[in-house]
């Protein structure tokens, strides 16, 4: 079988479908968008797509050409000169061309496999995307083979707020601490404007230091906020055996988006808040999106800073993985959506059940959806004898 392939938002893309979800992934960079959940009922498309895709303009940073949805970064971030390696921003897996390896349906599961032979750090990456009938979820797997050495990596899910100020609620699983980005040039640098204070730690996303004396803290659990600024923070998960999570609630639309991870592999979340704060081309002050990026890295500072001693690693948080050509490294990840009841606000807790997951809000509302959450640890959709 061969999947459908067509050009979407100026990028050739493969398309797969279940009875609930339609998913497109670009040949260039493997960027996953658009993705339509509840496609036959009340369609919901949470992922962001860049506004310059059809413009005939020079783009110096390759990852920006297809920029959309979720993509796998290896290495994650910029400043990626390391020893004799010079990586593009977010690496070859986010900027190179993927090849079709396999596509098909087995029972209620549709799967698409893509491969890439990377050159800067030699090895082979396999991307497998699976859809399950009855599930509004994407089961993502990246298999890294033949690689050696230290590497920062992660997912780069980028969402569209679909509206004006304060239209989304953001929450993450319990954190040990968080860090703001260490921009060293003050409030502005090369056409970028920052609102958060540089290189500060915090304990709560609802109270993060800003540069403003009259407004010293801001709440990062609500987005869009701070129009005219772009900021990056990173939060570090408490070590638990249960899956880590990040959620974005769209209360006016009646949906939530979520991502689940094995926090041992991706121990932190980078939050990129772009609210018309970048004025250099191709941004030109017109972008409003939020990246909820589960990673093993040090902020978005790239491979060199991630493998060095840094503020996160000093506190015991891994900021890179050790890859070995003797064994594959596998990153399993789930992204999905759920319809929420009226009055559902920020997600307070996520509970794993028998083949399902329940999201509980601070307003004491809840929603339960079918989900094979054990996939995060087993890489299989078949239920193990002892589930989480």
pLDDT for 386 = 65
Cα–Cα distance, 219 to 197 (Å, whole number): 13
pLDDT for 251 = 97
Taking residues 353-378, report their average pLDDT: 98
pLDDT for 213 = 87
Q: Give backbone dihedrals phi and psi of 306, rounded to 5 degrees, phi first.
A: -75, -35
Cα–Cα distance, 289 to 360 (Å, whole number): 25
pLDDT tens across 209-228, in order?
999 989 999 999 999 999 99
Cα–Cα distance, 21 to 379 (Å, whole number): 20
pLDDT for 186 = 63
What is the pTM (predicted TM-score) of this model? 0.97
Three-state secondary-structure class, residue 205: coil
pLDDT for 184 = 60
Q: Are strands 188-189 and 4-8 parallel, antiparallel or unpaired?
A: unpaired
pLDDT tens across 302-350, in order?
999 999 999 999 999 999 999 999 999 999 999 999 999 999 999 999 9
Taking residues 360-369, report their average pLDDT: 98
Contact 166, 173 (CB under 8 A): no
Cα–Cα distance, 220 to 238 (Å, whole number): 19
Q: What is the mean pLDDT of the chain?
A: 96
Taking residues 34-52, report their average pLDDT: 98
Contact 376, 332 (CB under 8 A): yes
> Any idea of the CA torsion for 64, 70, 71, 73, to the nearest 10 degrees?
90
Domains annotated on the chain, with CATH: 4-378 (2.70.98.10)
pLDDT tens across 136-191, in order?
999 999 999 999 999 999 999 999 999 877 789 999 999 999 999 997 666 767 88
Three-state secondary-structure class, residue 284: coil
Q: Which two tokens stand for residue 200?
A: 């500060």
């Amino acid at each position: 079988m061969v999947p459908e392939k067509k050009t979407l938002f100026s990028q050739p893309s493969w398309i797969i479908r279940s009875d609930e979800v339609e998913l497109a992934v670009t040949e260039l960079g493997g960027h996953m968008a658009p993705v339509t959940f509840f496609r036959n009922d009340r369609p919901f498309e949470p992922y962001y797509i860049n506004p310059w895709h059809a413009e005939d303009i020079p783009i110096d940073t390759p990852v920006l050409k297809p920029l959309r949805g979720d993509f796998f970064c290896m290495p994650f971030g910029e400043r990626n000169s390391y020893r004799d390696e010079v990586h593009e921003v977010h690496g070859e897996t986010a900027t190179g061309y993927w090849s079709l390896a396999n596509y098909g349906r087995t029972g209620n599961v549709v799967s698409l496999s893509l491969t890439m032979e990377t050159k800067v750090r030699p090895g082979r990456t396999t991307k497998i995307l699976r859809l399950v009938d009855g599930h509004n979820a994407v089961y993502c797997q990246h298999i890294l083979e033949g690689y050696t050495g230290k590497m920062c990596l992660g997912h780069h899910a980028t969402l569209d707020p679909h509206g004006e100020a304060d239209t989304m609620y953001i929450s993450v699983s319990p954190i040990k601490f968080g860090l703001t980005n260490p921009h060293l040039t003050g409030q502005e640098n090369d056409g970028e404007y920052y609102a958060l204070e540089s290189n500060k730690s915090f304990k709560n996303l609802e109270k993060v230091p800003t540069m403003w004396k009259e407004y010293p803290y801001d709440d990062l659990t609500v987005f869009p906020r701070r129009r005219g600024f772009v900021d990056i923070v990173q939060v570090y998960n408490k070590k638990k055996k249960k899956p880590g999570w990040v959620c974005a609630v769209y209360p006016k639309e009646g949906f939530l988006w979520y991502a689940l991870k094995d926090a041992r592999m991706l121990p932190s979340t980078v939050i990129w808040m772009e609210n018309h704060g970048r004025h250099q081309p191709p941004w030109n002050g017109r972008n409003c999106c939020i990246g909820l990026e589960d990673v093993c890295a040090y902020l978005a500072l790239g491979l060199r800073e991630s493998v060095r001693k840094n503020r996160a690693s000093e506190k015991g948080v891994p900021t890179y993985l050790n890859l070995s050509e003797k064994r594959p490294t596998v990153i399993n990840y789930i992204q999905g959506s759920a319809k929420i009841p009226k009055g559902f606000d920020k997600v307070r807790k996520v509970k794993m059940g028998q083949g399902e997951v329940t999201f509980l809000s601070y307003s004491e509302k809840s929603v339960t959806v079918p989900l094979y959450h054990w996939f995060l640890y087993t890489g299989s959709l078949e239920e193990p004898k002892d589930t989480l």
